[in-house]
């Protein structure tokens, strides 16, 4: 998953769902589901008013 969700910070406002250009985020009860359609544009990370989202770099240093 390219975006990490801090469930302790997230208030599940749904704003990230609205700003997602890829329609890659779904709000399911008290869970954010980020699909593989995410292109890591970071619109959700920038938008999040509580800083609950962050980009995750899955590449390991060589």
Give the angle subtended at the CA of 13 by the CAs of 23 and 30, to the nearest 5°: 85
Mean pLDDT, to the nearest integer, of 39-58? Answer: 91
pTM tops 0.85: no
Residue 61 scores a pLDDT above 60: no
Q: Which domains does the chain have, with CATH numbers?
A: 3-55 (3.30.70.20)
Q: Is there a contact between 23 and 50 (Cβ–Cβ < 8 Å)? A: no
For the chain, percent of residues with pLDDT exceeding 90 = 74
The predicted pLDDT at position 56 comes to 84
What does DSSP assign to residue 36? Answer: T
Q: Is there a contact between 51 and 9 (Cβ–Cβ < 8 Å)? A: yes
Give 1's pLDDT tier (boundaries 50, 70, 90): low
């Amino acid at each position: 998953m390219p975006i990490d969700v801090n469930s302790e910070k997230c208030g599940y406002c749904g704003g990230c769902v609205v700003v997602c250009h890829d329609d890659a985020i779904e709000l399911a009860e008290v869970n954010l589901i980020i699909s593989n359609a995410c292109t890591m544009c970071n619109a959700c990370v920038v938008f999040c008013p509580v800083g609950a989202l962050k980009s995750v770099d899955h590449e390991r240093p060589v």
